Amino acid sequence: MQTKFIFITGGVVSGLGKGIAGASIGTLLESRGLTVSLMKLDPYINLDAGTMNPFQHGEVFVTEDGAETDLDLGHYERYTNAKLNRKHNCTTGQIYDAVLRKERAGEYLGSTVQVVPHVIDEIKAKILEGSDAVDVAIVEIGGTVGDIESLPFLEAIRQCRHDIGRENTLFIHLTLIVYMENGDMKTKPTQHSVGKLREIGIQPDILICRTKGDLPQKIKKKIALFTNVEVEAVINAPDVKSVYQVPLTFNKEGLDEQIAEYLKMWTGKPKLQGWADMVDRFQNPSDEVTIAFVGKYVDLRDSYESLNEALVHGGIANRLRVNLNYVNSEDLSEKEVQKQLKKAHGILVAPGFGVRGAEGKVRAVQYARCEKVPFFGICLGLQMAVIEYARNVAGIPTANSGEFRPNHPDNVIDIMPEQEGQEGTGGTMRLGAYPATLKPGTRIAEVYQEDKISERHRHRYEVMNEFVPRLEASGLIISGRHPERDLVETIELPDHPWFLACQFHPELQSKPMKPHPLFASFIRAAYQYKQSFKSKSSKYE
């Protein structure tokens, strides 16, 4: 079977949504009975996204095999059934690292190593490696056409058409139609963007045009005429209220039909009723809840992309609109805690790294515990919950984390002995999927409806087992453990309507069509809290 390849490029400006477009195309092709894989080629020189600042790059998505990747892989997995791994995100840094290793090993037999052919050949090899023998491989090229950094990747996909054949390759270009204040729609930037592609030998087959509204047929004809594409291949991609509407919008525009025709593929008719029902539940909720989202990167939504979406999925599961009230943990002083959290029906303490904002997270945990507000802690959120409980319940007032205060006897959170002495900041964490065994009769076992699970991790620090007996004696339930290394994976409280924290990242496996059970349960608990809430004096001190 010959895998077909769809290459997605972007023009005019960055941030148009190539990842959402690629994921939506994957949804449509799967709805027609095809198997897909999705890949992101990133032009930055970092080896991976693991050490990049969330404010610059957004969320780091973690795959099953522990790769720290671009956040677009999260979109790919949420929209499709594809299980992605480190082969599906490739950076310039990885390409040059591979080329230089081969040069040092003598694999080029003394040749002068150059961008063409050696770097380009390495990119093409990575593209083929990530195709996974599926019906269609969707490959997104990061950056914007015209960027110097993207040129090797664009040359590689140009050569792919030559190598694999025109009938097996499809070029889709995502571009922007500029709206003027007087209502005019300007196509010139799109024309120039396509012109830049054609200069390097790539003629787009399909144009996806981001717009604020409907794209008139006369504008489509003008775009088609000056970019040398068929009118039917000019696809309108208007702004939508939810990114989950995009597959339905593309289908309405006939994008999946165009793809099947260009690639000469026989497919079944698209089966999108389930997806349409999901969008309907999202757009027509029966009620709403407010969740206080406590984190340190809340000024940039992309920093918590998977977590934001998983909370939405929890709302979809309960037909509830989830209103997220982002609370910067640095601002949660003792005086501000009640003011910022008192209107929340649930409190989530988000993952993160570093001491900045840590005490604010501890205060948020204390408020949730004392006020009996549904609480969900993830990764660092679990660690802050353990620290709060140790300080205020278990009688360890100086409890803290080795991340913030190294070499102290009361660090209830610290690195494991086998981690000591590791150098560097990249790739030194517990990364990827690890199993956990859940304690029968606990809330988390009830939520999962099973006692053995596997979830993805991204952290260095662990709960120190030497403190566990003291914590348990004070009432904390260690409800989940790593079966081989006996590490704490989940905690909960018995005398609380919903107080649960996990060391792993459940948001990485949540999908709109299959919401993660922890988020569905958390949002349900928040709604129950809302329904039962009555004015009362605060117990928080």
Least confident of 42-56, 166-180, 247-261, 431-445: 42-56
Average pLDDT over residues 238-262: 96
pLDDT for 422 equals 47
207: left (phi over 0), alpha (psi -120 to 50) or beta: beta
The answer to whether 341 and 538 have CB atoms below 8 angstroms apart is no
Biggest distance spanned by C-alpha atoms of the chain: 79
Instruction: Please compute the mean of the pLDDT values over residues 275-301 and round it to a whole number.
Output: 93
Q: How far is residue 229's CA from residue 212's CA, in Å, rounded to a whole number?
A: 22
Query: What's residue 15's pLDDT?
Result: 85
Residue 104: partners with Cβ closer than 8 Å, 6 or more residues away? none
To the query of whether residue 379 is one of the catalytic residues in this protein, the response is yes
**Mean pLDDT, to the nearest integer, of 388-402?**
97
Residue 83 has pLDDT above 80, yes or no: yes
Are residues 362 and 382 in contact, defined by beta-carbon separation less than 8 angstroms? no
Residue 337 has pLDDT above 60, yes or no: yes
> pLDDT class for 539, splitting at 50, 70, 90?
low
Active site residue 261: no
Q: State the number of CA atoms in the 13 A half-sphere of 436 facing the CB.
A: 28
Residue for token pair 């620090």:
461
- Whether the pLDDT of residue 541 is over 50: the answer is no
Active site residue 505: yes
Task: Note whether 403 and 356 are within 8 A (CB).
Answer: no
Helix residue ranges per DSSP H, 284-379: 305-317, 337-341, 358-371
Of 456, 435, 429, 462, which Cα lies nearest the Cα of 516? 456
- Walk across the sheet containing 375-378 and list its strands: 320-328, 287-295, 346-349, 375-378, 499-502, 488-492, 477-481, 430-438, 452-459
What is the distance in angstroms between the CA of the first residue and the CA of the last residue of the chain? Answer: 66
Point out the catalytic residue in the list 90, 379, 455, 496. 379
Q: Please identify which of the residues 313, 457, 459, 505 carries the catalytic annotation.
A: 505
Residue from 140, 253, 492, 507 carrying the catalytic annotation: 507
The predicted structure's pLDDT at residue 427: 46
Instruction: Report pLDDT digits (tens) over 200-216.
Output: 999 999 999 999 988 99
50-54, 335-339, 397-401: least confident range: 50-54
Q: How far is Cα 327 from Cα 218, in angstroms, rounded to an integer?
A: 47
Q: Kindly report the backbone phi and psi dihedral angles of residue 460, in degrees, each rounded to the nearest multiple of 5, phi listed first.
A: -105, -35
Specify the pLDDT at position 132: 80
Distance between alpha carbon 376 and the CA centroid of its chain, in Å? 19
Tokens 């905690």, residue located: 491
The confidence score (pLDDT) of residue 184 equals: 87
Q: What is the pLDDT of residues 139-155, one digit of tens each?
A: 999 999 999 999 999 99
State yes or no: pLDDT of 293 exceeds 90: yes
Please name the amino acid found at residue 181. E
pLDDT band at 423 (very low <50, low <70, confident <90, very high): very low
Helix or strand holding residue 228 (H, E): none
* pLDDT band, residue 477 (cuts 50/70/90): very high
Task: Please report the pLDDT score of residue 181 as a whole number.
Answer: 79
Supply the DSSP string of 471-515, one letter for each residue. HHHTT-EEEEE-TTT--EEEEE-TTSSSEEEESS-GGGG-BTTB-
Lowest mean pLDDT among 41-50, 53-62, 420-429, 478-487: 420-429
Instruction: Give me the chain's average pLDDT, please.
Output: 93
Nearest to 228 by CA among 255, 257, 253, 203: 203
Mean pLDDT of all residues in 228-255: 96
Which domains occur in the chain, in start order? 4-277 (3.40.50.300), 287-417+429-532 (3.40.50.880)
| Closest listed residue to residue 44, CA positions, set 32, 57, 33, 55 | 57
Q: Residue 425's pLDDT is what?
A: 45
Give the pLDDT score at 538: 52
Segment among 168-177, 294-303, 361-370, 505-514 with least mean pLDDT? 294-303
